[in-house]
Amino acid sequence: MRSVRNVALVGSSLLTVLLTVKLGVATPSTAYWTPCTIDLQAPGVWHLTYDTYFPIRKPNQAAFPIIVGLTYGFRLDRKLQMEAGFDWLESSRYPLLLNAKIGYPEGALGPESPALQIGFFNWGTKSGVTNQNCIQLVTGKTFKGLGRVHFSYYIGNRTALGGRGRSGFMIAWDRWLVPGKYLLVADYATGKNAIGGGGVGLSIFFTENINLLTGPVWFNDGVINGKWKWTFQIDINF
């Protein structure tokens, strides 16, 4: 019964914040290619990201637009947190994407409790083009010696997602190779649509608040995204 009440609180709090926050709704924290992560932006901290994706197997394929995103973290009460912000895709005819996520970090609901979160991502401004309007449920937990495992279910707008599916599952994993310096990250999303795909990358931390994530990304639907790209993602907290 307590878990049901907690889920209801997360959902109602998210709706309340979305109606009152003037910031917009944000670049979600991501694992690698997907937003399947139990990370929430730290309360009171801004996060700036600069992401690029280049074709690596067929040079004649176009690169993705450069993605610049800004996220801010909120603490709603002693345990409940939220992040909110936006993505700007350049160059793109409809560059603005909005996202948000709210929930409980790992351990917030008990010493061994997993994270429990709900969020929106890729909320675009052009009907049928960028309004993928995905909703996701996220959970995950840290396992000693293994690292963190993250799971998510998503559902969105079939027309804007393209392909043959509007929903799917996501899984991600990360583990420190050298604590505070090198983090190995992998993720994958099911679905023959714009989201389906995954990758494996290395995150290099130059300081506690500045890191570079890089590696290959592959896709389930080569018509929509191409087959392979290489990504460079710069992340800065301030």
- Write out the DSSP string of 85-116: EEEEEES-SS-EEEEEEEEE-TTTTSTTPPEE
pLDDT in tens, 98-142: 999 999 999 999 999 999 999 999 999 999 899 999 999 999 999
What confidence score (pLDDT) does residue 27 get?
A: 52
Two structure tokens written together for 108: 């917030």
Q: CA-CA distance, 182 to 178, in Å (whole number)?
A: 5
Domain ranges in the chain?
2-237
Coil vs helix vs strand at 211: strand
What confidence score (pLDDT) does residue 187 get?
A: 98
What confidence score (pLDDT) does residue 22 get?
A: 33
Q: Where does residue 144 rank: exposed (0-12), middle (13-18), buried (19+ CB within 10 A)?
A: exposed
Two structure tokens written together for 150: 């993250």
Q: CA-CA distance, 141 to 182, in Å (whole number)?
A: 20
pLDDT in tens, 160-202: 999 888 999 999 999 999 999 999 999 999 999 999 999 999 9
Q: CA-CA distance, 36 to 226, in Å (whole number)?
A: 21
Which stretch of DSSP H or E encloses residue 6? Answer: helix 2-20
CATH class of residue range 2-237: mainly beta
